[in-house]
Amino acid sequence: MALLSVQGISVSIGALCPLEGVTFDIDKGEILGLVGESGSGKSLTAMCVMGLLPRIGGTITKGSIAFDGRELIGLPEIELRRLRGKRIALISQNPMTSLDPIIRIGAQIDQVSILHLGLSAEAAKARSLDLIAQLRIPEPAAIHRAYPHQLSGGMKQRIVIAMALAADPDLIVADEPTTALDVTIQAQIIQIMVELVRDRGLALMLITHDMGVVAQACDRVVVLYAGRVAEMNAIGEIFAEPKHPYTRELICCIPRLGQKPGSLKGIPGVVPSIVDYPDGCRFNPRCSNAQALCRDRAPALEPKSSGLAACHFSEV
Amino acid sequence: MTAFAPIRTAIRSPRGGVSAAVLVLVVACALFAPLIAPYAYDIQNLPGANTEPGAAHWMGTDEFGRDLMSRIIYGARTSLSVAVTAISISVAAGLTLGAMAGYFGGWFDRAVTAVVDLTWSFPEILIALILIAIIGPGLESTMVAISIAYLAQFTRLTRAQIMALKNETYVEATTNLGAGHFHIIFRHLLPNALTPVIVAGMLATGDAIILEATLGFFGLGAQPPTPSWGAMMSSGTAQIFIAPWIIIFPGLAIAITVISINLFGDALIEALDIRNRLRSV
Amino acid sequence: MISFFIKRLLLLIPVFLAVSLVIFMIVHLVPGDPIDNLVQINSSPEQKAALAAKYGLDKPLYQQYAIWLGNALTGDLGDAIVLRRPVADLIAQNLPHSLSLGALALLFSTVVGITAGALAAIYKDSWIDRVTMTLILLGSTVPGFWLGLLLIMLFAVQLGWFPVSGARSWDALVLPVLTIGLGGVALVARVTRVAMMETARKDFVMMLHAKGVPPWRIELRHVLRHALLPVVTILSLRIGWILGGAVTVEFVFARPGLGSLLITSLNQRDYPVVQGALLMLAVAVMLGTLLGDIVQAAMDPRVRERIK
């Protein structure tokens, strides 16, 4: 049985319905990529898994989220809080703003193991120092005493990772962990996370808009488009034989070495606005294959020759 | 968008509507005091001193038997004219100083900022008291003291607006087209910086009414027999045991006026959507 | 921290010089011969001449200022015209009353204001929020002296719980502190409320929730701590404003203190006392601002960094 199983969840925020029938699962030791353009609902999915959706004024209207065999939807807040940080940890998008600027780095990492593992202050500090060292940060003791503004972005993101690891979680949700960082640092951070998953047998839900990152790190990929799952497949199949036209376009957007100048292209059109989703398949206004059926009826997420895809014409 | 559209929006909100109505009433009292007031403000009637509020005198009479309501209606004249004049002068001076400091920068800006920061940390009442110590008590001194006491606020606010606008591309474009400094300041920068400063000025008018009343209460503002809300309460303190209404009603007049100004200003800030620009100070 | 303190103290010197210059100039700007503004009524020509010599009134203005400032710094603020006593004595007599009133009012405003503002932000749109918002509106619009008079009428005249005026016992402090306090509470509560609501929207707060930290702990240990930074900034900027409230309130409650000394002397045109009282009040405002800066640096590592 999968460690995390998300089945057909729909989310509403006020009158808007930014997620519809999102389905995927993650096994232990697996890295699942959640890919899509901004506004496709990636971060919102992370909020659902973390049980933090009510904090931003949203509710899950349909579906189920099972973690380690336990249903999370409808679980009392106090139970969710015991899972958060302990068994499911978050690595957030922007390390610059994710740390409390007026509290020492060390105290912020210690906090997690004191809270969830019941460690004493000294034991928590020793554990944090150990974690900092494991993440290949020089001078752990000095970093432990430092304040966030004294560290670079890449260092801060490592600290956020250390914070996520502090209580030995089973699942890490990483919401665009490298977007705010320099390109050279990005690869390092992804490398660190891949190693962690392999060494500790964690499950990682890696949210990104960067197919390059997906190719580097993930075992399986879920492609989101406008709040719905477009396609889900293993990494090899997705790149070899994408089933959804949107996935094809995404792959075409990856720059390659030796590519002819000017041959790199973007996807024509823009992501539809949430207040004005098109009828039928939401990708139809941008799809070169769109037929009358696509404008008429939304395709279901169905098994194809491999994986799942939501396209009426994926087999043609 | 015409200049009146936000005012209309403000009046349509419940807070804005009620407060605007009260303000119109207060201004009407100030303008048409002789027509509205049931008695003259200075007619003494010693046998009828300290009469309780009743049919003949709705708010009672003071220690000289003068009708309190009439004095409050005339008092609106004193309070409003002093506060509005003082703040208008202060706003005009603050706009000029702040715009020049923000636009030209350099030593002029540093000097203005230094003086503004210096006065900023001192309460308005203390600045007003220093000035009154120099120019002596009276209504004119009160006016001067109030306009100088609030100068720092408007200078600071204008300067902040100008600094924010100065770097925008259209100003650079105008400079490159060879427009003169004063043309740029008065035709391009000030009109865009004006709204927050005027709204701040309106809110400060409320504070100025309180400051005027406080100075009047200290006996440093309007001199008898000029009716002023602050001075009325000051003479009422001697009667606090027997005629509390002498203190209650003028204070109520101040409180209601100032609350209305604040509520209307707040509604206006909302309608204009300039809360952040006002807070940047 | 100590170097920061010294640096801030040094920065106050030009401010002090500027303010003292303005205060010194009062006697010269007032119409009439400065000597008549300084000398006791019915003084003999000899006494006048002695005083003129003491202040160097025949010397250039800047030398007079130096003499005056030198005297003031060594505790000689001249003699009161009306009360015929050294101004320094009058100030020494009144200062403790103002200090206790100001300190208590500041404490009251801070504690009650932060509590009310924090509760209003945490329970936004509840009755607590609405009561606090009303209090904020009243506190920032009702004239302080009128509020004082109303409190006297209710609690001293009608109910007789507290003395009407004076400073003979501790309970005479209650109504004055409340009077200044309402304005201070309004100011502090407003800033706290807005700052807490803004902090609550920050990324690191969401991250704390994601770490599983209990909400009450997030509000108190993290959000409130951040919200206090702007509160301290405002307080250090407006500490004089609370002291200004003390000036008014002392007069209303006929309490001894620098404020009532100042107002009385202003009405009597007793310029040496006016100068002395203003100088003390200005110093109090400056020290208050300094205190605010220090508290701020103690609370925010980023501020300490900027100072280095």
pLDDT digits (tens, 9 = 90+) for A152-197: 888 888 899 899 988 889 999 998 888 877 888 888 888 888 988 8
The shortest CB-CB distance from A85 to any of C202, C210, C305 is to C210
Minimum-distance CB partner of C207 among A98, A116, A150: A98
pLDDT at B175: 66
Total CB pairs under 8 A between chain B and C: 119
Q: Do B220 and C266 touch (CB under 8 A)?
A: yes
Given this model, what pLDDT does residue B3 score?
A: 65
Q: Which residues pair with B61 in a beta bridge?
A: B67
Contacts of C162 (CB under 8 A, 6+ apart): C155, C156, C171, C172, C174, C175
**Distance from the first to the final alpha carbon of chain A:** 33
Residue of higher predicted confidence among A316 and C167? C167
Instruction: Name chain C contacts of A50, Cβ cutoff 8 Å.
Output: 210
Mark yes or no for CB contact C202/A89 under 8 Å.
no
Q: Which residues in chain B have Cβ-Cβ distances shorter than 8 Å to C238?
A: 123
**Partner-chain residue, chosen from B125, B237, B241, that has the shortest CB–CB distance to C248:** B125
> Is-contact A24 A35, C-beta < 8 A?
no
CB atoms under 10 Å from CB of C292, counted, come to 20
Contact criterion met (CB < 8 Å) for A50 and C204: no
Q: Which of A268-282, B42-56, B244-258, C54-68 has the lowest mean pLDDT?
A: B42-56
Q: Which residue of A has its CA nearest to C222?
A: A100
Q: Do A112 and C222 touch (CB under 8 A)?
A: no
User: Could B133 and C278 be called an inter-chain contact, meaning their C-beta atoms sit closer than 8 Å?
Assistant: yes
**pLDDT band with cut points at 50, 70 and 90 for residue B1:** very low
CB of A229 within 8 A of CB of A24? yes
Q: In angstroms, rounded to a whole number, what is the distance separating the alpha carbons of residues A132 and A106?
A: 9
Write down which chains contact chain A via at least 3 CB pairs under 8 A: C
Q: What is the pTM of this model?
A: 0.79
By the 8 A CB rule, do B83 and B142 touch?
no
For residue B174, name the pLDDT band (cuts at 50, 70, 90): low
In the block, residue with structure tokens 């009128």 = C146
The continuous run of DSSP H or E covering A67 comes out as strand A58-67
Query: Residues of B with CB below 8 A from C81's CB?
Result: none
Q: Is the pLDDT of residue A22 over 70?
A: yes
The answer to whether C188 touches C242, Cβ cutoff 8 Å, is: no
Kindly state whether C204 is in contact with chain A, defined as any CB-CB distance less than 8 angstroms: yes
CA atoms of A47 and B23, how far apart (whole Å) = 49
Q: Is A68 left (phi over 0), alpha (psi -120 to 50) or beta?
A: left
Give A216 to chain C, closest Cα distance, Å: 27
Kindly report which listed range (A44-48, A229-233, B48-52) carries the lowest average pLDDT score.
B48-52
> Chain B residue closest to C157 (CA)?
B241
Residue A264: the pLDDT is: 64
The reply to whether residue C22 touches residue B130, judged by beta carbons under 8 angstroms, is yes
Q: Which of B279, B260, B278, B182 is nearest to B10 (CA)?
A: B260
Question: What's the pLDDT at A298?
Answer: 83
Of C18, C157, C248, Cβ closest to residue B214: C248
pLDDT above 70: percentage of residues in chain B: 91
Q: For residue C200, what is the nearest residue in chain A, using CA coordinates?
A: A55
pLDDT above 50: residue B280:
no
Whether residue B281 has pLDDT greater than 50: no
Chain C partners within 8 Å of B204 (Cβ): none
Torsion of CA A16, A19, A20, A24, to 10 degrees: -170
pLDDT: which is higher, B3 or A199: A199
CA dist C121 and A259 (Å) reads 56
Contacts of A55 in chain C (CB under 8 A): 206, 209
pLDDT beyond 70 at B169? no
Number of residues assigned to chain B: 281
List of chain C residues with pLDDT < 70: 1, 40-42, 167, 307-308
CB < 8 Å to B148, chain C: none
Q: What average pLDDT does range B86-97 have in this prediction?
A: 92
Helix (H/G/I), strand (E/B), else coil: B61: strand
Which pLDDT band holds residue B251 (cuts at 50, 70, 90)? confident
- Within 13 Å, how many C-alpha atoms sit on residue B273's CB side? 1
Report CA torsion sign: C39, C45, C50, C54. Answer: positive
Average pLDDT of chain A is: 87
Q: Is pLDDT at B108 greater than 70 in this prediction?
A: yes
Instruction: Say whether the ipTM exceeds 0.85.
Output: yes
Look over chain B and give the mean of its residue pLDDT values, rounded to a whole number: 81
Residues of C in contact with B137 (CB under 8 A): 266-267
Angle, nearest 10°, between helix axes B245-272 and B190-217?
170
What pLDDT does residue A58 have?
86
* Touching, A vs B (3+ Cβ pairs under 8 A): no
| pLDDT(A239) > 80 | yes
Contact A101 C305 (CB under 8 A): no
Whether C207 sits inside 8 A of A99 (CB atoms) is yes
